Structure 1
Amino acid sequence: MIEALNRHPSDKIRLKFQYLKEQSSVHPAGFQSMSLSRVVCHFWEYQCPGEEMKTWLVQGLNIEMILRRDYDAQPDDSWMDYTYSGLTSIKSWKGNHRSLQSTVDFLQRHPLLKRIELKPDHEHDNTPWGIAFAKRMHPYSCKVCSGDMVVVKVDEEWLYGRIEVIFLDDIPHRGVGIVETMIQKLGTMVSQSPHCLPFVGIDFLSPVGEYMTSKDLIGILTRNLSHLGEVNLRLGKFLRDILTRECAQILGPGSAIDEEEDEESIAGLVPFRERLRSRGVLCGLLYY
Protein backbone atom coordinates (compact mmCIF):
# COMPACT_ATOMS: atom_id res chain seq x y z
CA MET A 1 0.00 0.00 0.00
CA ILE A 2 2.76 2.45 0.90
CA GLU A 3 4.62 1.62 -2.31
CA ALA A 4 1.45 2.33 -4.34
CA LEU A 5 0.88 5.54 -2.38
CA ASN A 6 4.41 6.75 -3.09
CA ARG A 7 3.99 6.03 -6.82
CA HIS A 8 0.73 7.94 -7.09
CA PRO A 9 1.18 11.19 -9.08
CA SER A 10 -0.92 13.30 -6.69
CA ASP A 11 1.08 14.58 -3.73
CA LYS A 12 -2.16 15.41 -1.87
CA ILE A 13 -3.12 11.81 -1.10
CA ARG A 14 -2.14 10.63 2.38
CA LEU A 15 -2.42 7.43 4.40
CA LYS A 16 -3.57 8.51 7.85
CA PHE A 17 -3.60 6.54 11.09
CA GLN A 18 -5.53 7.78 14.12
CA TYR A 19 -2.96 6.22 16.43
CA LEU A 20 0.29 4.44 15.70
CA LYS A 21 1.90 2.12 18.25
CA GLU A 22 5.46 0.91 18.20
CA GLN A 23 5.79 -2.84 18.24
CA SER A 24 8.70 -5.22 18.28
CA SER A 25 7.70 -6.74 14.96
CA VAL A 26 9.69 -7.78 11.94
CA HIS A 27 9.03 -5.52 8.99
CA PRO A 28 8.89 -6.81 5.41
CA ALA A 29 12.12 -6.66 3.48
CA GLY A 30 12.64 -3.22 2.03
CA PHE A 31 10.25 -1.45 4.43
CA GLN A 32 13.03 0.52 6.08
CA SER A 33 14.04 1.97 2.73
CA MET A 34 10.52 3.26 1.95
CA SER A 35 9.62 6.92 2.19
CA LEU A 36 6.91 7.55 4.79
CA SER A 37 6.46 11.21 3.85
CA ARG A 38 2.86 10.47 2.76
CA VAL A 39 2.00 8.57 5.93
CA VAL A 40 0.39 10.57 8.74
CA CYS A 41 -0.08 9.59 12.37
CA HIS A 42 -2.78 11.75 14.01
CA PHE A 43 -1.39 11.40 17.52
CA TRP A 44 1.45 9.66 19.29
CA GLU A 45 1.92 9.21 23.04
CA TYR A 46 5.13 7.70 24.25
CA GLN A 47 7.79 8.93 26.63
CA CYS A 48 10.57 8.80 24.08
CA PRO A 49 10.86 7.40 20.55
CA GLY A 50 11.92 3.78 20.50
CA GLU A 51 14.16 2.39 17.79
CA GLU A 52 11.23 1.78 15.45
CA MET A 53 9.89 5.32 15.81
CA LYS A 54 13.35 6.80 15.31
CA THR A 55 13.60 4.87 12.04
CA TRP A 56 10.12 5.97 10.95
CA LEU A 57 10.92 9.60 11.70
CA VAL A 58 14.04 9.38 9.54
CA GLN A 59 11.88 7.86 6.79
CA GLY A 60 9.64 10.95 6.92
CA LEU A 61 6.65 9.79 9.01
CA ASN A 62 4.34 12.73 9.80
CA ILE A 63 3.00 13.11 13.35
CA GLU A 64 0.30 15.74 13.81
CA MET A 65 -0.06 15.68 17.62
CA ILE A 66 2.06 14.54 20.54
CA LEU A 67 0.19 13.62 23.71
CA ARG A 68 2.44 13.67 26.78
CA ARG A 69 -0.04 12.51 29.48
CA ASP A 70 1.92 11.49 32.60
CA TYR A 71 5.19 10.68 30.92
CA ASP A 72 6.91 13.71 32.40
CA ALA A 73 6.46 12.57 36.02
CA GLN A 74 10.21 11.95 36.02
CA PRO A 75 11.59 14.73 33.80
CA ASP A 76 12.97 13.23 30.61
CA ASP A 77 13.06 15.69 27.77
CA SER A 78 15.07 13.55 25.37
CA TRP A 79 11.98 13.23 23.14
CA MET A 80 12.56 16.88 22.24
CA ASP A 81 15.88 15.97 20.58
CA TYR A 82 13.97 14.60 17.59
CA THR A 83 12.10 16.28 14.76
CA TYR A 84 8.48 15.30 14.10
CA SER A 85 7.43 16.22 10.58
CA GLY A 86 3.95 17.71 10.36
CA LEU A 87 3.66 18.43 14.09
CA THR A 88 0.89 20.98 14.75
CA SER A 89 0.03 20.51 18.45
CA ILE A 90 1.26 19.13 21.77
CA LYS A 91 -1.07 18.20 24.63
CA SER A 92 -0.38 17.80 28.37
CA TRP A 93 3.14 19.18 28.12
CA LYS A 94 4.97 19.84 31.37
CA GLY A 95 7.61 21.99 29.72
CA ASN A 96 11.29 21.56 29.10
CA HIS A 97 13.35 20.98 32.24
CA ARG A 98 16.67 21.57 30.52
CA SER A 99 17.08 25.06 29.08
CA LEU A 100 15.31 27.88 27.30
CA GLN A 101 17.57 27.46 24.27
CA SER A 102 16.65 23.80 23.82
CA THR A 103 12.97 24.79 23.86
CA VAL A 104 13.62 27.51 21.27
CA ASP A 105 15.54 25.02 19.10
CA PHE A 106 12.65 22.54 19.28
CA LEU A 107 10.11 25.21 18.29
CA GLN A 108 12.27 26.38 15.39
CA ARG A 109 12.50 22.83 14.05
CA HIS A 110 8.70 22.58 14.05
CA PRO A 111 7.38 25.59 12.10
CA LEU A 112 3.89 24.04 11.78
CA LEU A 113 3.46 23.79 15.56
CA LYS A 114 0.64 26.21 16.43
CA ARG A 115 -0.85 25.07 19.75
CA ILE A 116 0.51 23.71 23.03
CA GLU A 117 -1.70 22.67 25.94
CA LEU A 118 0.30 22.90 29.16
CA LYS A 119 -0.15 20.86 32.32
CA PRO A 120 -0.90 22.81 35.52
CA ASP A 121 2.58 22.20 36.96
CA HIS A 122 4.48 22.99 33.78
CA GLU A 123 7.75 24.92 33.64
CA HIS A 124 6.53 28.45 32.89
CA ASP A 125 9.58 30.67 33.48
CA ASN A 126 11.77 28.64 31.14
CA THR A 127 9.71 29.23 28.00
CA PRO A 128 9.62 31.92 25.29
CA TRP A 129 6.03 32.82 26.19
CA GLY A 130 6.77 32.95 29.92
CA ILE A 131 9.72 35.30 29.43
CA ALA A 132 7.77 37.46 26.96
CA PHE A 133 4.88 37.64 29.44
CA ALA A 134 7.13 38.82 32.28
CA LYS A 135 8.67 41.50 30.06
CA ARG A 136 5.29 42.67 28.75
CA MET A 137 3.80 42.92 32.25
CA HIS A 138 6.73 44.89 33.72
CA PRO A 139 6.73 46.72 36.15
CA TYR A 140 3.68 44.89 37.50
CA SER A 141 3.87 41.49 39.14
CA CYS A 142 1.29 38.78 38.86
CA LYS A 143 0.88 35.14 39.64
CA VAL A 144 0.02 32.87 36.75
CA CYS A 145 -2.50 30.43 38.20
CA SER A 146 -1.75 26.72 38.07
CA GLY A 147 -4.71 25.70 35.93
CA ASP A 148 -4.39 24.23 32.45
CA MET A 149 -2.94 26.83 30.10
CA VAL A 150 -2.80 27.02 26.33
CA VAL A 151 -0.35 28.89 24.12
CA VAL A 152 -0.78 29.44 20.39
CA LYS A 153 1.52 30.82 17.73
CA VAL A 154 0.26 33.92 15.96
CA ASP A 155 2.48 35.61 13.36
CA GLU A 156 5.58 33.87 14.78
CA GLU A 157 4.79 35.05 18.33
CA TRP A 158 3.68 32.71 21.10
CA LEU A 159 0.64 34.11 22.93
CA TYR A 160 -1.80 32.73 25.46
CA GLY A 161 -5.06 31.14 24.41
CA ARG A 162 -5.91 30.32 28.01
CA ILE A 163 -4.47 32.08 31.04
CA GLU A 164 -5.53 33.01 34.57
CA VAL A 165 -3.61 35.62 36.57
CA ILE A 166 -3.79 37.29 39.95
CA PHE A 167 -2.23 40.76 40.08
CA LEU A 168 -0.10 40.98 43.22
CA ASP A 169 0.78 44.68 43.44
CA ASP A 170 -0.75 47.03 45.99
CA ILE A 171 -2.95 49.47 44.10
CA PRO A 172 -3.63 52.89 45.61
CA HIS A 173 -7.22 53.58 46.57
CA ARG A 174 -9.18 54.73 43.52
CA GLY A 175 -6.36 53.47 41.30
CA VAL A 176 -8.68 52.62 38.41
CA GLY A 177 -6.11 53.85 35.90
CA ILE A 178 -3.53 51.38 37.22
CA VAL A 179 -6.07 48.55 36.99
CA GLU A 180 -6.66 49.45 33.35
CA THR A 181 -2.94 49.51 32.57
CA MET A 182 -2.56 46.04 34.07
CA ILE A 183 -5.45 44.60 32.05
CA GLN A 184 -4.26 46.41 28.92
CA LYS A 185 -0.83 44.75 29.19
CA LEU A 186 -2.45 41.37 29.82
CA GLY A 187 -4.68 41.79 26.77
CA THR A 188 -1.64 42.14 24.50
CA MET A 189 -0.49 38.65 25.52
CA VAL A 190 -3.79 36.91 24.75
CA SER A 191 -4.36 35.32 21.36
CA GLN A 192 -6.97 36.16 18.78
CA SER A 193 -6.05 32.89 17.06
CA PRO A 194 -8.63 30.71 15.29
CA HIS A 195 -6.92 27.74 16.96
CA CYS A 196 -8.34 28.61 20.39
CA LEU A 197 -11.34 30.39 21.93
CA PRO A 198 -9.63 32.83 24.35
CA PHE A 199 -10.00 32.16 28.06
CA VAL A 200 -8.90 34.91 30.44
CA GLY A 201 -9.10 34.82 34.23
CA ILE A 202 -8.39 38.02 36.19
CA ASP A 203 -8.26 38.76 39.90
CA PHE A 204 -6.42 41.14 42.27
CA LEU A 205 -4.92 40.79 45.73
CA SER A 206 -5.51 44.49 46.21
CA PRO A 207 -9.16 45.23 47.19
CA VAL A 208 -10.05 47.05 43.98
CA GLY A 209 -13.66 45.85 44.20
CA GLU A 210 -14.23 48.17 47.16
CA TYR A 211 -14.14 51.29 44.99
CA MET A 212 -14.37 50.26 41.33
CA THR A 213 -17.77 50.51 39.70
CA SER A 214 -19.25 48.14 37.19
CA LYS A 215 -19.16 51.03 34.73
CA ASP A 216 -15.40 51.40 35.33
CA LEU A 217 -14.83 47.69 34.77
CA ILE A 218 -16.97 47.45 31.64
CA GLY A 219 -15.09 50.38 30.13
CA ILE A 220 -11.72 48.78 30.91
CA LEU A 221 -12.69 45.38 29.51
CA THR A 222 -14.24 46.94 26.41
CA ARG A 223 -11.20 49.05 25.60
CA ASN A 224 -8.68 46.27 26.18
CA LEU A 225 -10.31 42.89 25.45
CA SER A 226 -12.94 43.53 22.78
CA HIS A 227 -10.31 42.85 20.07
CA LEU A 228 -10.46 39.18 21.10
CA GLY A 229 -14.07 38.83 19.92
CA GLU A 230 -15.81 36.06 21.86
CA VAL A 231 -13.95 35.18 25.04
CA ASN A 232 -14.47 33.03 28.11
CA LEU A 233 -13.89 35.63 30.79
CA ARG A 234 -13.57 34.81 34.48
CA LEU A 235 -13.39 37.66 36.95
CA GLY A 236 -12.54 36.93 40.57
CA LYS A 237 -13.61 38.19 43.96
CA PHE A 238 -13.32 41.84 42.97
CA LEU A 239 -16.31 41.47 40.62
CA ARG A 240 -18.33 39.92 43.41
CA ASP A 241 -17.39 42.87 45.65
CA ILE A 242 -18.48 45.37 43.01
CA LEU A 243 -21.84 43.71 42.37
CA THR A 244 -22.52 43.17 46.08
CA ARG A 245 -21.90 46.83 46.83
CA GLU A 246 -23.92 48.13 43.89
CA CYS A 247 -26.84 45.75 44.46
CA ALA A 248 -26.94 46.80 48.12
CA GLN A 249 -27.13 50.43 47.05
CA ILE A 250 -30.02 49.68 44.72
CA LEU A 251 -31.90 46.98 46.62
CA GLY A 252 -31.02 47.95 50.18
CA PRO A 253 -29.35 46.01 53.01
CA GLY A 254 -29.57 42.23 52.93
CA SER A 255 -29.07 41.95 49.15
CA ALA A 256 -25.49 40.63 49.37
CA ILE A 257 -24.64 37.76 47.06
CA ASP A 258 -25.26 34.34 48.58
CA GLU A 259 -22.20 32.06 48.52
CA GLU A 260 -24.46 29.13 47.61
CA GLU A 261 -26.09 30.77 44.60
CA ASP A 262 -25.09 29.67 41.14
CA GLU A 263 -23.79 32.13 38.61
CA GLU A 264 -27.07 32.76 36.83
CA SER A 265 -28.83 33.78 40.05
CA ILE A 266 -26.16 36.14 41.39
CA ALA A 267 -27.78 39.56 41.62
CA GLY A 268 -26.46 41.90 38.97
CA LEU A 269 -24.32 39.35 37.13
CA VAL A 270 -26.59 38.69 34.17
CA PRO A 271 -27.21 42.43 33.54
CA PHE A 272 -23.44 42.98 33.84
CA ARG A 273 -22.79 40.36 31.16
CA GLU A 274 -25.42 41.87 28.88
CA ARG A 275 -23.89 45.33 29.29
CA LEU A 276 -20.52 43.84 28.32
CA ARG A 277 -22.04 42.14 25.28
CA SER A 278 -23.65 45.40 24.17
CA ARG A 279 -20.16 46.94 24.17
CA GLY A 280 -18.67 44.20 22.00
CA VAL A 281 -17.20 41.84 24.62
CA LEU A 282 -18.90 38.50 23.98
CA CYS A 283 -18.16 36.45 27.08
CA GLY A 284 -19.06 33.13 28.62
CA LEU A 285 -18.66 32.39 32.33
CA LEU A 286 -17.94 35.56 34.28
CA TYR A 287 -17.49 34.72 37.94
CA TYR A 288 -15.34 32.20 39.77
Structure 2
Amino acid sequence: MKLIRFHSTDGRPRPGVQRADGTRLDVSAFGGDYDESFFGSDGPGRLGRWLVDHAGECPVVPANARLLPPCARPSKIVCVGMNYAAHAAETGAKPPSEPVIFMKATTAITGPNDPIVLPRDSTKTDWEVELAVVIGKRASYVTKAEALDHVAGYLLHNDVSERAFQIERGGQWVKGKSADTFAPLGPWIATPDEITDPHNLRLWLKLNGETMQDSTTADFIFDIPTCISYISRFMTLLPGDVISTGTPSGVGLGMKPNRYLQAGDVVELGIDGLGVSRQQVKAYQPQG
Protein backbone atom coordinates (compact mmCIF):
# COMPACT_ATOMS: atom_id res chain seq x y z
CA MET A 1 0.00 0.00 0.00
CA LYS A 2 1.13 3.54 -0.77
CA LEU A 3 0.19 6.15 1.85
CA ILE A 4 -0.16 9.77 0.80
CA ARG A 5 -1.32 12.98 2.45
CA PHE A 6 -2.76 15.90 0.54
CA HIS A 7 -4.06 19.42 0.98
CA SER A 8 -7.84 19.41 0.76
CA THR A 9 -10.01 22.20 -0.62
CA ASP A 10 -11.01 23.13 2.95
CA GLY A 11 -7.37 23.81 3.78
CA ARG A 12 -6.79 20.80 6.00
CA PRO A 13 -4.34 17.92 5.52
CA ARG A 14 -6.07 14.65 4.68
CA PRO A 15 -4.80 11.07 4.48
CA GLY A 16 -5.06 9.07 1.30
CA VAL A 17 -3.75 6.09 -0.59
CA GLN A 18 -2.39 5.77 -4.08
CA ARG A 19 -3.55 2.69 -5.95
CA ALA A 20 -1.61 0.62 -8.44
CA ASP A 21 -3.30 2.39 -11.38
CA GLY A 22 -2.14 5.78 -10.07
CA THR A 23 -5.51 6.98 -8.80
CA ARG A 24 -5.62 8.42 -5.29
CA LEU A 25 -8.34 7.91 -2.73
CA ASP A 26 -9.25 10.15 0.20
CA VAL A 27 -9.41 7.84 3.23
CA SER A 28 -10.41 10.48 5.78
CA ALA A 29 -13.41 8.36 6.71
CA PHE A 30 -11.05 5.78 8.17
CA GLY A 31 -10.24 8.32 10.89
CA GLY A 32 -6.98 9.88 12.02
CA ASP A 33 -3.81 11.08 10.37
CA TYR A 34 -0.61 9.21 9.58
CA ASP A 35 1.00 9.98 12.91
CA GLU A 36 2.51 8.20 15.90
CA SER A 37 -0.85 6.81 16.97
CA PHE A 38 -1.58 5.48 13.49
CA PHE A 39 1.75 3.73 12.99
CA GLY A 40 1.91 2.49 16.56
CA SER A 41 -1.43 0.68 16.28
CA ASP A 42 -0.79 -1.23 13.04
CA GLY A 43 -2.45 1.59 11.12
CA PRO A 44 -1.38 0.38 7.67
CA GLY A 45 -2.76 -3.09 8.37
CA ARG A 46 -6.02 -1.77 9.76
CA LEU A 47 -6.40 0.64 6.86
CA GLY A 48 -5.80 -2.13 4.34
CA ARG A 49 -8.52 -4.26 5.89
CA TRP A 50 -10.90 -1.29 6.03
CA LEU A 51 -10.35 -0.54 2.34
CA VAL A 52 -11.53 -4.01 1.37
CA ASP A 53 -15.07 -2.98 2.29
CA HIS A 54 -14.92 0.81 1.92
CA ALA A 55 -12.69 1.70 -1.04
CA GLY A 56 -15.73 2.24 -3.25
CA GLU A 57 -17.05 4.88 -0.86
CA CYS A 58 -13.82 6.92 -0.80
CA PRO A 59 -13.69 10.14 -2.86
CA VAL A 60 -11.04 10.41 -5.55
CA VAL A 61 -8.33 12.94 -4.74
CA PRO A 62 -8.24 15.71 -7.38
CA ALA A 63 -5.31 15.35 -9.73
CA ASN A 64 -4.15 18.89 -8.94
CA ALA A 65 -4.21 18.46 -5.16
CA ARG A 66 -0.98 19.48 -3.45
CA LEU A 67 0.79 16.49 -1.95
CA LEU A 68 1.94 16.92 1.64
CA PRO A 69 4.64 14.98 3.49
CA PRO A 70 3.19 11.46 3.66
CA CYS A 71 3.70 11.25 7.43
CA ALA A 72 2.47 13.81 9.92
CA ARG A 73 5.33 15.49 11.77
CA PRO A 74 7.28 12.72 13.54
CA SER A 75 8.93 13.09 16.93
CA LYS A 76 12.33 13.08 15.22
CA ILE A 77 14.32 12.59 12.04
CA VAL A 78 17.54 10.65 12.55
CA CYS A 79 20.01 10.64 9.67
CA VAL A 80 22.92 8.35 8.90
CA GLY A 81 25.93 10.16 7.46
CA MET A 82 28.52 8.84 5.00
CA ASN A 83 26.74 5.52 4.53
CA TYR A 84 28.00 4.96 0.98
CA ALA A 85 31.74 4.39 0.52
CA ALA A 86 31.90 6.47 -2.67
CA HIS A 87 30.22 9.43 -0.94
CA ALA A 88 32.65 9.26 1.98
CA ALA A 89 35.53 9.25 -0.49
CA GLU A 90 34.26 12.24 -2.47
CA THR A 91 34.05 14.32 0.72
CA GLY A 92 37.58 13.32 1.76
CA ALA A 93 36.43 11.18 4.70
CA LYS A 94 37.35 7.63 5.61
CA PRO A 95 34.47 5.13 5.64
CA PRO A 96 33.15 5.13 9.21
CA SER A 97 33.72 2.16 11.49
CA GLU A 98 30.21 2.53 12.94
CA PRO A 99 27.17 4.52 11.80
CA VAL A 100 27.50 8.30 11.93
CA ILE A 101 24.19 9.67 13.17
CA PHE A 102 22.83 13.19 13.44
CA MET A 103 19.44 14.84 13.88
CA LYS A 104 17.44 16.93 11.46
CA ALA A 105 14.75 19.29 12.78
CA THR A 106 11.20 18.19 11.99
CA THR A 107 10.33 21.79 11.08
CA ALA A 108 12.39 21.21 7.92
CA ILE A 109 9.76 18.79 6.57
CA THR A 110 7.88 19.78 3.42
CA GLY A 111 5.93 18.05 0.70
CA PRO A 112 7.61 16.30 -2.22
CA ASN A 113 7.01 19.07 -4.72
CA ASP A 114 7.27 22.11 -2.45
CA PRO A 115 10.10 24.59 -3.09
CA ILE A 116 13.48 24.54 -1.41
CA VAL A 117 14.07 27.97 0.10
CA LEU A 118 17.70 28.99 0.44
CA PRO A 119 18.22 30.17 4.02
CA ARG A 120 19.39 33.68 4.76
CA ASP A 121 23.18 33.96 4.30
CA SER A 122 23.32 30.60 2.52
CA THR A 123 26.27 30.12 0.16
CA LYS A 124 26.61 26.34 -0.09
CA THR A 125 23.21 24.62 -0.13
CA ASP A 126 23.52 21.06 -1.45
CA TRP A 127 21.30 18.15 -2.49
CA GLU A 128 21.21 14.54 -1.21
CA VAL A 129 18.82 11.84 -2.45
CA GLU A 130 18.18 9.31 0.33
CA LEU A 131 16.09 6.28 1.18
CA ALA A 132 14.19 6.95 4.40
CA VAL A 133 12.52 4.47 6.74
CA VAL A 134 9.39 5.07 8.82
CA ILE A 135 9.31 3.29 12.17
CA GLY A 136 6.16 1.26 12.84
CA LYS A 137 6.54 0.32 16.48
CA ARG A 138 8.56 1.49 19.45
CA ALA A 139 12.20 0.43 19.17
CA SER A 140 14.69 0.38 22.05
CA TYR A 141 17.76 -1.87 22.06
CA VAL A 142 16.41 -3.95 19.19
CA THR A 143 18.65 -6.55 17.58
CA LYS A 144 19.48 -6.58 13.89
CA ALA A 145 17.34 -9.70 13.53
CA GLU A 146 14.34 -7.83 14.98
CA ALA A 147 14.91 -4.50 13.26
CA LEU A 148 12.86 -4.90 10.07
CA ASP A 149 9.85 -5.91 12.17
CA HIS A 150 9.86 -2.29 13.37
CA VAL A 151 9.58 -0.80 9.86
CA ALA A 152 6.22 0.61 8.74
CA GLY A 153 7.43 1.67 5.32
CA TYR A 154 9.90 3.42 3.08
CA LEU A 155 9.93 6.82 1.40
CA LEU A 156 11.99 9.24 -0.67
CA HIS A 157 13.89 12.03 1.11
CA ASN A 158 16.00 14.93 -0.17
CA ASP A 159 18.37 15.63 2.73
CA VAL A 160 19.05 19.24 1.72
CA SER A 161 22.21 20.52 3.44
CA GLU A 162 23.85 23.92 3.83
CA ARG A 163 27.52 22.93 3.82
CA ALA A 164 28.93 26.19 5.21
CA PHE A 165 26.55 25.97 8.17
CA GLN A 166 27.27 22.24 8.54
CA ILE A 167 31.06 22.24 8.29
CA GLU A 168 32.45 25.74 8.69
CA ARG A 169 30.41 27.11 11.60
CA GLY A 170 31.61 24.73 14.32
CA GLY A 171 29.57 22.37 16.47
CA GLN A 172 27.30 19.66 15.15
CA TRP A 173 25.89 19.07 11.66
CA VAL A 174 22.28 19.69 12.68
CA LYS A 175 22.33 23.41 11.93
CA GLY A 176 23.37 22.75 8.33
CA LYS A 177 20.56 20.25 7.91
CA SER A 178 17.54 21.86 9.54
CA ALA A 179 16.51 25.02 7.71
CA ASP A 180 12.86 25.27 6.75
CA THR A 181 12.15 23.25 3.55
CA PHE A 182 15.32 21.13 3.95
CA ALA A 183 13.45 17.81 4.26
CA PRO A 184 11.15 17.20 1.28
CA LEU A 185 9.50 13.80 1.90
CA GLY A 186 7.45 11.61 -0.41
CA PRO A 187 5.40 11.45 -2.59
CA TRP A 188 4.30 8.38 -0.62
CA ILE A 189 5.21 5.88 2.05
CA ALA A 190 5.39 2.39 0.59
CA THR A 191 4.59 -0.36 3.07
CA PRO A 192 7.17 -3.17 3.21
CA ASP A 193 5.10 -5.50 1.02
CA GLU A 194 5.56 -2.99 -1.83
CA ILE A 195 9.38 -3.15 -1.67
CA THR A 196 10.89 -6.53 -2.52
CA ASP A 197 14.39 -5.66 -1.34
CA PRO A 198 15.20 -2.26 0.21
CA HIS A 199 18.89 -3.08 -0.19
CA ASN A 200 18.67 -3.19 -3.98
CA LEU A 201 16.92 0.01 -5.00
CA ARG A 202 18.17 2.46 -7.60
CA LEU A 203 18.19 6.06 -6.42
CA TRP A 204 19.00 9.09 -8.54
CA LEU A 205 18.93 12.88 -8.56
CA LYS A 206 18.98 15.42 -11.38
CA LEU A 207 19.78 19.13 -11.24
CA ASN A 208 18.23 21.13 -14.08
CA GLY A 209 17.90 17.87 -16.02
CA GLU A 210 21.54 16.81 -15.52
CA THR A 211 22.12 13.59 -13.57
CA MET A 212 24.11 14.28 -10.42
CA GLN A 213 23.54 11.08 -8.41
CA ASP A 214 22.83 7.58 -9.70
CA SER A 215 23.50 4.60 -7.46
CA THR A 216 21.80 1.77 -5.58
CA THR A 217 21.23 0.92 -1.95
CA ALA A 218 23.33 -2.20 -2.53
CA ASP A 219 26.26 0.14 -1.83
CA PHE A 220 25.28 0.80 1.78
CA ILE A 221 28.13 0.57 4.26
CA PHE A 222 25.62 -0.20 7.02
CA ASP A 223 22.37 -1.89 6.04
CA ILE A 224 18.95 -0.90 7.36
CA PRO A 225 18.77 -3.47 10.21
CA THR A 226 22.21 -2.37 11.38
CA CYS A 227 21.19 1.30 11.36
CA ILE A 228 17.92 0.72 13.23
CA SER A 229 19.56 -1.50 15.82
CA TYR A 230 22.45 0.90 16.31
CA ILE A 231 20.30 4.01 16.67
CA SER A 232 17.99 2.24 19.11
CA ARG A 233 20.92 1.80 21.51
CA PHE A 234 21.15 5.56 21.94
CA MET A 235 17.52 6.67 21.79
CA THR A 236 14.04 5.20 21.70
CA LEU A 237 12.52 5.27 18.24
CA LEU A 238 8.80 5.99 18.27
CA PRO A 239 6.19 5.00 15.69
CA GLY A 240 6.26 7.49 12.84
CA ASP A 241 9.90 8.47 13.40
CA VAL A 242 11.97 8.78 10.23
CA ILE A 243 15.45 7.37 9.71
CA SER A 244 17.25 8.63 6.60
CA THR A 245 19.89 6.15 5.50
CA GLY A 246 22.48 8.30 3.75
CA THR A 247 23.26 9.55 0.26
CA PRO A 248 25.42 8.18 -2.54
CA SER A 249 28.17 10.06 -4.33
CA GLY A 250 27.40 12.98 -6.61
CA VAL A 251 26.68 15.79 -4.14
CA GLY A 252 27.81 19.33 -4.86
CA LEU A 253 30.35 19.25 -2.01
CA GLY A 254 32.20 16.43 -3.76
CA MET A 255 32.55 18.16 -7.13
CA LYS A 256 35.68 19.95 -8.26
CA PRO A 257 34.93 22.80 -8.27
CA ASN A 258 32.08 22.57 -5.77
CA ARG A 259 28.60 23.18 -7.15
CA TYR A 260 25.70 24.39 -5.05
CA LEU A 261 22.04 25.26 -5.50
CA GLN A 262 21.02 28.64 -6.85
CA ALA A 263 17.63 30.32 -7.00
CA GLY A 264 15.78 29.08 -10.07
CA ASP A 265 17.36 25.61 -10.06
CA VAL A 266 15.10 22.57 -10.30
CA VAL A 267 15.93 19.35 -8.43
CA GLU A 268 14.29 16.06 -9.40
CA LEU A 269 14.91 12.80 -7.57
CA GLY A 270 13.53 9.31 -7.28
CA ILE A 271 13.91 5.80 -5.90
CA ASP A 272 12.59 2.55 -7.36
CA GLY A 273 9.09 1.95 -6.01
CA LEU A 274 9.01 5.21 -4.06
CA GLY A 275 8.14 7.67 -6.79
CA VAL A 276 9.65 10.95 -7.90
CA SER A 277 9.72 14.39 -6.31
CA ARG A 278 10.55 17.79 -7.76
CA GLN A 279 11.63 20.96 -5.97
CA GLN A 280 12.29 24.40 -7.39
CA VAL A 281 14.92 26.41 -5.52
CA LYS A 282 13.90 29.85 -4.30
CA ALA A 283 15.75 32.70 -2.62
CA TYR A 284 15.03 33.58 1.00
CA GLN A 285 12.45 36.34 1.38
CA PRO A 286 12.06 38.04 4.78
CA GLN A 287 8.56 37.70 6.22
CA GLY A 288 6.40 40.78 6.76
- TM (norm. structure 2) is 0.27
Point out the structure with the larger helix share: 1
Identify the structure with the greater strand proportion. Answer: 2
Larger RCO (CA within 8 A; separation ≥ 6): 2
TM-score by length of 1: 0.27
